[in-house]
Amino acid sequence: MRRFLRENSLSLGFGLAFVLCLVGQAFAGVADFNDQRVSDGLDPISLGRFVTSSVFAVDVMENWQSEYLQFFLYIFGTVWLIQRGSAESKKLAEAGPESDEKQRVGAHARRDSPPWVRAGGWRTTVFSRSLGLLMGALFLLTWGSSSVAGWAAFNGEQLAGHEDPVSWIGYLGHAEFWNRTLQNWQSEMLAVGSMAIFTVYLRQRGSPESKPVGAPHAVTGQTG
């Protein structure tokens, strides 16, 4: 058991931290929501009612969508885009999908390669892009979910203010939807760009996200 926890500490540790933060978000969210309700002269709602509300749903989904957009763009973007000297970049001459030999596909598949690599055809084509495809699908699904939850939450506010509700399509063109979307996107783009450039000149000893401490600034794509 101890060994299992140690060998999987990255995914388990972040998974646990995710659950704790989500629970914290629920408690802080209902307190914040009830502050507003009380100041509007309305009765506070329970934690159970809050976590089954579209207000909580849109707050969760709008953050998920931007994270998966970030990973999707990062995974696909780094196939082609290069940053000289960055730990996050391939070497300048390796831009693109690379050779079958380097990627160990086609005639270069090995006996211990995953079954879909040895299968060839469409299965190898799909498997060759499966990480980016999953991240892209998760982005589209979570963005769609944030639009549906945001639409319901928005209409709740409209009705409370004795204003007309809008259709889902109408909400997609509404400033609130794009404000929620773009405020999350901008931070992800900044984080990716800064990570790419900071790893040229800065190091984190022992981290695979960094070049080795003693690596020259000019060396590209050599991770610690």
Instruction: Give residues with Cβ within 8 angstroms of 187, minimum separation 6.
Output: 66
- Answer yes or no whether residue 60 interacts with another protein by CB under 8 A: yes
Of 30, 57, 87, 196, the one binding another protein (CB under 8 A) is: 57
Closer CB to another protein, 139 or 221, in the complex? 139
Q: Of 144-163, which residues contact another protein (CB under 8 A)?
A: 144-145, 148-153, 155-156
Q: With respect to another protein, which residue has the nearer C-beta, 112 or 205?
A: 112
- 3-state SS of 157-183 is HHHHCCCCCCCHHHHHCCHHHHHHHHH
Query: What CA–CA distance (Å, rounded) separates 123 from 115?
Result: 9
Least Cα distance to 188 among 25, 21, 56, 65 occurs for: 65
Cα–Cα distances in angstroms (integers) from residue 145 to residues 173, 189, 214, in the given order: 16, 21, 45
Among positions 4, 41, 122, 214, the unique one binding another protein when judged by CB under 8 A: 4
- Per CB under 8 A, the list member of 29, 33, 53, 83 interacting with another protein is 53
Which of 52, 204 has the CB closer to another protein? 52
Q: Which stretch binds another protein (CB under 8 A): 82-90, 142-150, 177-185, 205-213?
A: 142-150
Stretch that binds another protein, among 7-15, 71-79, 124-132, 208-216 (CB under 8 A): 7-15
Helix/strand/coil for 27:
helix
Which one, 133 or 138, has the nearer CB to another protein? 138
As measured in angstroms, the least distance from the Cβ of 31 to another protein is 19
Q: Is the CB of residue 167 less than 8 Å from the CB of residue 152?
A: no
Q: How many binding residues for another protein (CB under 8 A)? A: 28
Candidate ranges 46-54, 79-87, 182-190, 204-212; the one touching another protein (CB under 8 A): 46-54
Provide the minimum distance between the beta carbon of 56 and another protein in the complex, in angstroms, as a whole number.
8
Look-up: residue for tokens 């969210």?
Answer: 29
Q: Which residues of 9-23 are buried (b: 16+ CB within 10 A; e: fewer)?
A: eeeeeeeeeeeeeee
Q: List CB contacts of 24: < 8 A, sequence separation 6 or more.
A: none
Can you count the helices (H) and strands (E) in the chain?
Answer: 10, 0
Q: Which residues bind another protein (CB under 8 A)?
A: 4, 7-8, 11-12, 15, 52-54, 56-58, 60-61, 64, 138, 141-142, 144-145, 148-153, 155-156
